[in-house]
Each structure stands twice: as C-alpha cells, then as structure tokens.
Amino acid sequence: MVALKRATGLKEIRGKPQEPGKSPKAKFGVFGVELIEKEVKRAGNSGRVYLPLEWVGKHVKIIRID
C-alpha cells in the first residue's frame, strides 16, 4: 500500500473532517474511456442517475464531487 501511495502521489486522509457532517476531500486518479457529468435526481427514497443504454453491462465508477 505504501508503494502504491508513492507511485500515485496520493496521500491518506486521517483525522476528523474540518466541517462537522462533511467528509474530507480526497484526490482520485481514474483512467477510463468516456466521462459524463450528471446531477443525481430523486427516485423515491434514493437517488438515480440515468446513463446511456450502451453502458448497460459495463463497469462504471461514481465519484461524488460536492
């Protein structure tokens, strides 16, 4: 794990968030094929993001940015 942190230049976040109720920010490095930015919409008791039909069966990663 230490070698991975050195290779990617990422730092581990420790301690409490600066603002109570908010998670500390982290930096992620992701490689992919395509990027779509969307807003999560309400769907009953949860949230939903619609993606292109061509993405069905593909692996995706969701990162909350705010």
Q: Tens digits of per-residue pLDDT, 6-18?
A: 555 656 666 655 6
Q: Which pLDDT score, from 0 to 100, does residue 13 have?
A: 60
Q: Tens digits of per-residue pLDDT, 18-59?
A: 667 777 788 889 899 999 999 999 999 999 999 999 999 999
**Is 57 a domain residue?**
yes
Report the number of distinct structural domains present in the chain. Answer: 1
Q: Which pLDDT score, from 0 to 100, does residue 8 have?
A: 56
Share of the chain above pLDDT 70, in %: 70
Residue 43 structural domain: 38-66
Quote the DSSP letter at residue 2. Answer: H
CA 60, distance to chain mean position in Å, is 10
Q: Are 18 and 24 in contact (CB under 8 A)?
A: yes
**Is 8 a domain residue?**
no
Query: Against a cut of 0.75, is the pTM above it?
Result: no
Q: Are 8 and 2 in contact (CB under 8 A)?
A: no
